[in-house]
Amino acid sequence: MEWLDNNSRIIQVVLTVIYFIVVWALAVTFVKRKDHAESNEKHKNDRDELAGRVAKIEDTYSKKEEHTILSTKVTTIETQLKQLPEPKTIHCLEKEVGELQGSIAGLKEQLTIFTNQVSMLVENELRGGK
């Protein structure tokens, strides 16, 4: 205890020096409010410009969900296109349909003649003819 009494002045000076060093280190490390406010105002335009660029990028590019939906639709369309017949097959089918239409027209004429004959036979039976 005697040592503290004898050296109290030196201890007080050393603690004061340590205190001022800590305060100086804190002042150097941290920014003052005034300087921070000035810096904040200075960089506000930069932040607004950056926000605009981010918004433009978000508008330009699609989200992952939208991309997945579009990819699914494209895959479905590709599958359906693979199932379509080739142009040669379509041409052959058109030819066959044309031939069938001609055959049906011929059958129609024959059916008309047959219908006339049946009508005449029915009429003859109704009149009681031989």
HEC sequence for the chain: CHHHHHHHHHHHHHHHHHHHHHHHHHHHHCCCHHHHHHHHHHCHHHHHHHHHHHHHHHHHCCCHHHHHHHHHHHHHHHHHHHHCCCHHHHHHHHHHHHHHHHHHHHHHHHHHHHHHHHHHHHHHHHHCCC
Quick: pLDDT tens for 82-96: 988 888 999 999 999
Q: In the predicted model, is pLDDT for residue 105 greater than 90?
A: no
Question: Average of pLDDT values for 64-91?
Answer: 90
Identify the pLDDT of residue 60: 83
More confident residue, 4 or 69: 69
